[in-house]
Structure 1
Amino acid sequence: MRVSFYLSAAATVLTPVLAVSSSTVQLNYTSYRGTALNNGVTQWLGVRYAAAPVGDLRFREPRPPPTEDGVVDADAYKPICLGTAAGPPSNTSDEDCLFMNIFAPSSAKKGSKLPVYFFIQGGGFNTNSNANYNGSGLVMASGMNIVVVNFNYRVGPYGFLAGKEVLADGNVNNGLKDQRLALQWIQQYISLFGGDPGHVTLGGDSAGAQSVNLQVTAYGGRDDGLFHATAAESQSSSSLRTVEENQFAYDNLVIRTGCTRVVDTLACLRNLTATELQEQNFNTPFPGAQDPPLYMYGPTLDFDFISDYTYRAYAQGKFVKVPAIGGDDTNEGTIFAPMATANLSDTDIFIQAQFPAITLSQLRTWNSLYPIKGTPSFPDSGRAWREASKGYGEMRYICPGIFISGSQANLSIPNWNYRWNVVDPPAAEDGYGVSHTVEVNAIWGPENTNGAAPDSYQVGGVNNAIVSVVQGYWTSFVRSYDPNTHRAKGSPEWKSWTKGEGYWNRLMFVTNATEMETVPIDQQARCAYLQSIGLDLMQ
Structure 2
Amino acid sequence: MMLSQLFLPVLAVAAVSPIVDVDYAKYLGTARAGGVTDWLGIRYAAPPIGELRFAAPQDPLPEEGIQMADQHGLICLSTPGDPNSTTTSEDCLFLDVYAPSAANTSSKLPVYFFIQGGGFATNSNPNYNGTGLIEASDMNIVVVNFNYRVGSFGFLASQEVATQASLNNGLKDQRKAMQWVQKYIRRFGGDPDHVVVGGDSAGGASITYHLTAHGGRDDGLFHAVASESQTFATLFTAEQSQWEYDNLVIRAGCTGASDTLACLRSLTTAEFQVVNIQTAYPGAQYAALYMYGPTLDGDLIPDYTYHLFEQGKFIRVPSIFGDVTNEGTIFVYNTTNTIGDSDSFIQAQFPSITLEQLATINSMYPVTNDSFPATPTAGKYWRQGSNAYGEIRYICPGIYISGALVQAGVTESWNYHYDVEDPEQVAEGLGVPHTVEINAIWGPQYVSGQAPVSYFTTNAGVVPVMQGYWTSFIRTFNPNTYRYSGSAEWGTWAKQGYQRVLIQGNGTAMETVQADQQARCAYLSSIGLQLRQ
TM-score range, shorter chain: over 0.9
The match for 1:514 is 508
Distance in 1 (CA, whole Å) between partners of 2:202 and 2:61 is: 29
Measure how far apart 1:205 and its partner are.
0.2
The match for 2:426 is 428
Letter aligned with residue 492 of structure 1: A
Distance in 2 (CA, whole Å) between partners of 1:452 and 1:387 is: 28
The match for 2:485 is 489
Q: Structure 1 residues 89 and 17 mapped into 2: Cα distance closer, same or farther (>3 Å)?
A: farther
Letter aligned with residue 365 of structure 1: T
In the alignment, is the contact (CA less than 8 A) between 1:234 and 1:327 conserved in 2? yes
The one of 529, 532, 537 equivalent to 2:523 is 529
Unaligned runs of 5+ in 1: 1-15
Measure how far apart 1:92 and its partner are.
1.3
The match for 2:442 is 444
Letter aligned with residue 381 of structure 1: A
The one of 378, 395, 398 equivalent to 2:395 is 398
**1:441-487 alpha-carbon deviations (Å, 9 max, x no partner):** 110000011242100001xx110000000000000000000000011
In the alignment, is the contact (CA less than 8 A) between 2:182 and 2:192 conserved in 1? yes
In the alignment, is the contact (CA less than 8 A) between 1:412 and 1:499 conserved in 2? no
Distance in 1 (CA, whole Å) between partners of 2:249 and 2:9 is: 47
The match for 2:339 is 344
The match for 1:290 is 285
Tell me the secondary structure at the aligned position of residue 514 of structure 1: strand
Letter aligned with residue 53 of structure 1: P
The match for 1:10 is none
Distance in 1 (CA, whole Å) between partners of 2:301 and 2:213 is: 6
The match for 1:499 is 495
In the alignment, is the contact (CA less than 8 A) between 1:286 and 1:293 conserved in 2? yes
Tell me the secondary structure at the aligned position of residue 534 of structure 1: coil
Letter aligned with residue 72 of structure 1: Q
Tell me the secondary structure at the aligned position of residue 117 of structure 1: strand
The one of 379, 382, 392 equivalent to 1:382 is 379
Q: Structure 1 residues 260 and 183 mapped into 2: Cα distance closer, same or farther (>3 Å)?
A: same
Q: Structure 1 residues 197 and 374 mapped into 2: Cα distance closer, same or farther (>3 Å)?
A: closer
> 407-416 or 524-533, which moves further after superposition?
407-416
The one of 299, 315, 326 equivalent to 1:331 is 326
Tell me the secondary structure at the aligned position of residue 187 of structure 1: helix
In the alignment, is the contact (CA less than 8 A) between 1:326 and 1:417 conserved in 2? yes
Counterparts of residues 242-321 of structure 1 (less than 5 Å): 242-321=237-316
The one of 146, 154, 159 equivalent to 1:151 is 146
Measure how far apart 1:19 and its partner are.
7.2
Letter aligned with residue 276 of structure 1: E
In the alignment, is the contact (CA less than 8 A) between 1:17 and 1:27 conserved in 2? no
The match for 1:102 is 97
Q: Structure 1 residues 373 and 196 mapped into 2: Cα distance closer, same or farther (>3 Å)?
A: closer
Tell me the secondary structure at the aligned position of residue 159 of structure 1: helix
In the alignment, is the contact (CA less than 8 A) between 2:56 and 2:165 conserved in 1? yes
Distance in 2 (CA, whole Å) between partners of 1:264 and 1:92 is: 31
Letter aligned with residue 225 of structure 2: T
Aligned residues, how many?
Answer: 520
Tell me if 1:18 matches 2:10: yes
Tell me if 1:477 matches 2:473: yes
Measure how far apart 1:430 and its partner are.
1.1
Q: Structure 1 residues 374 and 119 mapped into 2: Cα distance closer, same or farther (>3 Å)?
A: closer
Distance in 1 (CA, whole Å) between partners of 2:448 and 2:176 is: 26
Distance in 1 (CA, whole Å) between partners of 2:270 and 2:443 is: 35
Tell me the secondary structure at the aligned position of residue 196 of structure 2: strand
Distance in 2 (CA, whole Å) between partners of 1:20 and 1:275 is: 45
Q: Structure 1 residues 251 and 435 mapped into 2: Cα distance closer, same or farther (>3 Å)?
A: same
Letter aligned with residue 379 of structure 2: G
Unaligned runs of 5+ in 2: 1-7
Distance in 2 (CA, whole Å) between partners of 1:485 and 1:406 is: 23
In the alignment, is the contact (CA less than 8 A) between 1:49 and 1:98 conserved in 2? yes
**1:383-413 alpha-carbon deviations (Å, 9 max, x no partner):** 0001100100000000011000000111231
The match for 2:4 is none
Letter aligned with residue 392 of structure 1: Y
Scaled by the length of structure 2, the TM-score of the pair is: 0.96
The match for 2:218 is 223
Distance in 1 (CA, whole Å) between partners of 2:392 and 2:87 is: 34
Tell me the secondary structure at the aligned position of residue 75 of structure 1: coil
Letter aligned with residue 414 of structure 2: W
The match for 2:413 is 415
Q: Structure 1 residues 241 and 68 mapped into 2: Cα distance closer, same or farther (>3 Å)?
A: same
Measure how far apart 1:377 and its partner are.
5.3
Tell me the secondary structure at the aligned position of residue 258 of structure 1: coil
Counterparts of residues 161-172 of structure 1 (less than 5 Å): 161-172=156-167
Measure how far apart 1:28 and its partner are.
1.2
**1:423-446 alpha-carbon deviations (Å, 9 max, x no partner):** 001111111000000000110000
**1:53-76 alpha-carbon deviations (Å, 9 max, x no partner):** 000000000000000011101001
Letter aligned with residue 433 of structure 2: S
Distance in 1 (CA, whole Å) between partners of 2:257 and 2:81 is: 27
> 300-309 or 19-28, which moves further after superposition?
19-28
Scaled by the length of structure 1, the TM-score of the pair is: 0.95
Tell me the secondary structure at the aligned position of residue 52 of structure 1: coil
Measure how far apart 1:91 and its partner are.
3.2
Measure how far apart 1:180 and its partner are.
0.4
Letter aligned with residue 526 of structure 2: S
Tell me the secondary structure at the aligned position of residue 261 of structure 1: coil
Tell me the secondary structure at the aligned position of residue 167 of structure 1: helix
Tell me the secondary structure at the aligned position of residue 390 of structure 2: helix
CA RMSD, Structure 1 to Structure 2 (Å):
1.2
In the alignment, is the contact (CA less than 8 A) between 1:19 and 1:26 conserved in 2? no
In the alignment, is the contact (CA less than 8 A) between 1:377 and 1:386 conserved in 2? no
The match for 1:462 is 458
In the alignment, is the contact (CA less than 8 A) between 2:368 and 2:383 conserved in 1? no
Letter aligned with residue 409 of structure 2: S
Runs of 4+ in 1 over 3 A off after TM superposition: 19-22, 373-377
In the alignment, is the contact (CA less than 8 A) between 2:21 and 2:27 conserved in 1? yes
Tell me the secondary structure at the aligned position of residue 448 of structure 1: coil
Distance in 2 (CA, whole Å) between partners of 1:367 and 1:263 is: 49
Distance in 2 (CA, whole Å) between partners of 1:199 and 1:211 is: 19
Tell me if 1:141 matches 2:136: yes
Q: Structure 1 residues 418 and 27 mapped into 2: Cα distance closer, same or farther (>3 Å)?
A: same
Letter aligned with residue 282 of structure 1: I
**1:302-333 alpha-carbon deviations (Å, 9 max, x no partner):** 01000111111111110000000010000000
Distance in 2 (CA, whole Å) between partners of 1:404 and 1:229 is: 14
The match for 2:5 is none
Letter aligned with residue 384 of structure 1: Y
Distance in 2 (CA, whole Å) between partners of 1:241 and 1:349 is: 20
The match for 2:451 is 453
Distance in 1 (CA, whole Å) between partners of 2:419 and 2:450 is: 18
